[in-house]
Structure 1
Amino acid sequence: MTEVTSSVAGVEVSLDHWIGGKRVSSSERFQNNSPIDGTDLGAVSAGGKAEVEMAVEAAISAFPEWAALGAEGRKPILDKFARGILARNEDLAKVECADNGSLLMGNIHRLVPRTAQNISFFAEYAMSLQDHIIDHEEVTNDVRYDPSGVAALITPWNAPLMLTTWKIGPALAAGNTIIVKPPEWAPLTCSMLADIAHEAGVPAGVLNVVQGIGEDAGDALVNSPELARISFTGSTDTAKIIGQAAARTITPMSSELGGKSPLIVCSDANLDAAAQTVVMQYMNAGQVCLAGTRILVESSIEAEFLEKVRRALGQMVVGDPREANTRIGPLIHPEHFARVAGFVERAKAAGGEVLWGGATSDVGDLYFQPTMFTNVGLDAEISQCEVFGPVLTWQTFDTDEEAIAVANGTQYGLAGTLFSGNEDRAMRIASRVVAGTLWVNCYFVRDLSAPFGGSRISGIGREGGSHSFDFYCDIKNIAVRKGSFAGGGN
């Protein structure tokens, strides 16, 4: 079949799969529309078992040569891949904005540069894993980070470009070959990444992209018996399904899932900085797994702090994400919009008080006002369930013990944020909050060498730095008895 492309924000994008170094069309397609204004972005190839099997075969065939290059051989190719991403910064930013409604300026200045860094950082880090020797009085332990094989990478729609390369970077640097399953609600920048990788010299079959609906392409992929690794970012419910498939073949799985993170503000905090951070939780229309959606404020400062947050809220302009002054764009899809609106209406019916927002914005069909609820119980649906929209709850506490208990009072444990001016107090609280990441007097600061992941139902495993390679590699120890070879060598 002839390759099908679409002009998206003035950028030509392939709507077909990338398998074995070439574009592959499917007879079935699914419609993709921009959440900004409903613009038709094209009919994307909908893969299934046949396309997945083709991609798995291509990845298996490409694996020996890619693995044999070693970290030093893969690094120049991956560095060129990263430079290619930066060279297409504006194109990628425009398409990501059109496809998932994220802020254009945020993509240009933050997300696309971070996307390139995800590739170059892990290519460099892989070099440091060589010659890992652990000396023992009787033996020399030569620890090897061997490529594991074919990795399936399943990525979410809220930041597909950045979060896909967060997986691609270490998986390829480790020497694996990969199959990316992009999100059906925002698949286009993953398609562009395939072209950029090809232009950088990533060999055919090393990076494959199979588009499609989760129940079809995703299901076929995670049930492939040939996979060595499965990495998934998305909902806890979907992770349970993928986990069952992985268990049948004993395939290692890493998952970064949902959150219902606390943002704790103590009376001794820098309240201006804390207020600015509270309104940042509305960024990307609240479609951020790490967002601190439960605002916990020490009772003695509630009135003062609430006023500061109200003033800071004035910056949060709801509008077209292509405009420079916009801070909150649309929700991704009508189905998701209905889900968010449903949470809000049920919270109102249950007696929740709306401090601000609580309704559709007049900007467009998928735009929702930044919303804050108070007078909600700790066991209320709005307090316990991930809304994944611009909806926060406001609660107070009187003691540190109460703050810790409320912070830990959900099934989630992805992240948390704490503002306090007292280091001892801050570290005492932070050490007891259940979370994979806990920011103190800052927010959303990510060092690629630091561990990242969730506790409880927020995920399995950690990624970042050596933690990524612990997952994407088969780690082998060659223990050699000292003096056991002729000539006395090790």
Structure 2
Amino acid sequence: MMAVFEYAPAPESRDVVDIRPSYGLFIDGEFVDGAGPSFKTVNPATEETLAEVACAADQDVDRAVRAASKAFGPWSALPGAERAKYLFRIARLIQERSRELAVLETLDNGKPIRESRDVDLPLVAAHFFYYAGWADKLGHAGFGADPRPVGVAGQVIPWNFPLLMLAWKIAPALACGNTVVLKPAETTPLTALAFAEICVQAGLPAGVVNIVTGAGATGAAVVAHPEVGKVAFTGSTEVGRQIARTVAGTGKKLTLELGGKAANIVFDDAALDQAVEGIVNGIFFNQGHVCCAGSRLLVQESVEEELLAALKRRLGTLRLGDPLDKNTDIGAINSAEQLARIRSLTEAGEQEGAERWSPACELPEQGYWFPPTVFTRVAQSHRIAREEIFGPVLSVLTFRTEAEAIEKANNTPYGLSAGIWTEKGSRILMMADRLRAGVVWANTFNRFDPTAPFGGYKESGYGREGGIAGLEAYLDV
């Protein structure tokens, strides 16, 4: 039997973060008041109010877009090597302030500090370093000898990776010579506002980056503004459809990174202990708040019993609790609204006949929490097998043959990612070729690199972010 060790509390100090009582909008290089009513952003682990944040009304969005339009001419006229200097400076400042930013991200989002510190922040800096390197080499990226920037980029990002999604969008936009109006998620605006301070600290010209906080109406105003030439959105498929309708016929460039229901496929020849770690990382990383989460486990029948026993033993060692504790594996659900959705879908899973299991897990009394959960006896028709739960919930299905695995994996309206666990290289290549997913991991899961493109098919959106492919959306090719 696996020994479970007790860990002494190891909390990260909040003293490295100085959260202001209130924040304004960042427009044309300055923090200004918003015309809309302010809103509160809370710590989902404690329900404590962290700050009051300004809400941008339509006139605020217009002001931000006009500031970005004004800054576009001088910024795009700079030699690429000069733009690169600003990006390199931003990347270094992110590294210098990484501990502060990681704590701030965990406080506002609820994810464990280990993930903010060891995954998110290194990747944020890496994206700015990577695209800084491309700023003076755009003519060699395969998009023609002299590709030109689009203009003002309107960007709307989600709450699951607030600072990382900002980096995915702002870094390539600036490298290509565009200016930006970014709308962070309503529940997680604080690291975007800290990034605004970094832009000032780096000496970035006023208007090149503008950050307007607010809810869905603010994002809709950014998307619909006639002077925005490029729209980038990461979020739900439902909102993605609305954005596509808004942009249709306008001539705006559009990239959408939407929902997912990824299959994590384990064959009978896989290294099962390694696969268990990949399954845990695939669905319980960031509380399952991951578009490409491996939320459907497809396991070959002959190893189902052995794999599930090992998985349950492993889940019994996960630690749920204070996200600022360095020992924590499972943090808080980001909001009461998201927790209600997770509860609703898991209840539907039980009602439809799936068998629910969670390890013994004491949930804190304050905050938004949900235990790691596994459903077995899942049918493809069940809602938990078809709908994106966006929480720490795994649905287990079985297969006998490669053809059945492919058919079940592709039986989804989404197509963002997939995972394959097998010792056979030929099987990996064959499966990857037949899986309708934008990213296919082999004997690993949830691994990201700024040099690699990311994106999906079907209801998971279109366009790619990351790598050379991530430049194309921000250039008139």
TM class by shorter chain equals: over 0.9
Match of 1:350 among 335, 347, 352: 352
| Superposition map of 1:357-372 within 5 A | 361-362=363-364, 364-372=366-374
1:432 Cα deviation from its structure 2 partner:
0.6
| Equivalent residues, number | 461
* Match of residue 29 from structure 1: 38
Cα distance, 1:447 vs structure 2: 2.6
Gaps (5+ residues) in structure 1?
A: 1-6, 135-141, 476-490
Q: Does 1:41 align with 2:43?
A: no
Deviation string 1:423-478 (CA, Å, 9 cap, x unpaired) is: 11222122111100000011122232222101110011112222111110112xxx
Matches within 5 A, 1:109-148: 109-130=118-139, 143-148=145-150
User: TM-score with structure 1 length normalisation?
Assistant: 0.91
The offset of 1:359, in angstroms, is 9.2
Structure 1 residue runs of 4 or more that deviate by more than 4 Å after TM superposition: 131-134, 357-360
Return the alpha-carbon distance in structure 2 between the equivalents of residues 244 and 360 of structure 1.
Answer: 45
Q: Which residue of 2 aligns with 1:336?
A: 338
Q: Determine if contact 2:98/2:117 at 8 Å carries over to the other structure.
A: yes
Whichever of the two has the greater Rg, that structure is 1
Q: Per-residue CA shift, 1:11-65, capped at 9, x if unaligned? A: 2346111000111112510121110101111211011101100001100000010
Aligned in 2, Cα 1:279/1:198: closer, same or farther, shift over 3 Å?
same
> Amino acid of the residue matched to residue 29 of structure 2?
G
SS in structure 1 opposite 2:163? helix
Q: Which segment drifts farther, 370-379 or 58-67?
A: 370-379
Partner of 1:253, secondary structure, is: strand
Contact 2:418–2:441 (CA under 8 A) maintained in structure 1: yes
RMSD across aligned positions (CA): 1.8
Q: What are the within-5 Å matches in structure 2 for residues 207-356 of structure 1?
A: 207-214=209-216, 216-280=217-281, 281-356=283-358
| Structure 1 partner of 2:26 | 18
1:388-436 residue CA offsets vs partner (Å, 9 max, x unmatched)? 0011111111111111011001100000011001111222122111100
1:87 & 1:337 partners in 2: Cα distance? 34
CA 1:358 to 1:385, structure 2 compared with 1: closer, same or farther past 3 Å? farther
In structure 2, runs of 5+ residues without a counterpart are 1-13
Partner Cα distance (1:447, 1:133) in 2: 20
Residues of 1 paired with 2:133 and 2:411: CA distance?
40
Q: Secondary structure at the match of 2:19?
A: strand
1:382-393 alignment, distance < 5 Å? 382-393=384-395
C-alpha distance in 2 between matches for 1:384 and 1:361: 27
What SS does the aligned partner of 1:372 have? strand
Give the whole-Å Cα distance in 2 for the aligned partners of 1:271 and 1:300. Answer: 12
CA–CA distance in 1 between the matches of 2:295 and 2:106? 24
Q: In the TM superposition, what are the counterparts of 1:423-462 in structure 2 within 5 Å?
A: 423-462=425-464
Q: 1: distance between equivalents of 2:362 and 2:248?
A: 42
Matched with 2:6 is none
Q: Larger deviation: 351-360 or 9-18?
A: 351-360
Distance 1:9 1:97, change over 3 A: farther
- Matched position secondary structure for 2:415: coil
> For residues 178-220 of structure 1, what are the alpha-carbon distances to aligned partners after superposition, in whole Å with 9 as ceiling and x for unaligned?
0010100100100010110111011000000000111x21111
**Which residue among 83, 96, 112 is the counterpart of 2:105?**
96
Which of 400-409 and 424-433 deviates more? 424-433
SS in 2 for 1:335: helix
Aligned pair 1:55/2:64, yes or no? Answer: yes
Name the aligned partner's letter for residue 129 of structure 2: S
Give the aligned residue type for 1:49.
D
Q: How big is each residue's C-alpha offset from its partner over 1:106-158, in whole Å with a ceiling of 9 and x where there is no partner?
A: 21222112111111111102333236799xxxxxxx62121110001111100
3-state SS in 1 of match to 2:118: helix
Query: TM-score, length-normalised on structure 2?
Result: 0.93
Change in CA separation of 1:132 and 1:95 when aligned onto 2, cut-off 3 Å: closer
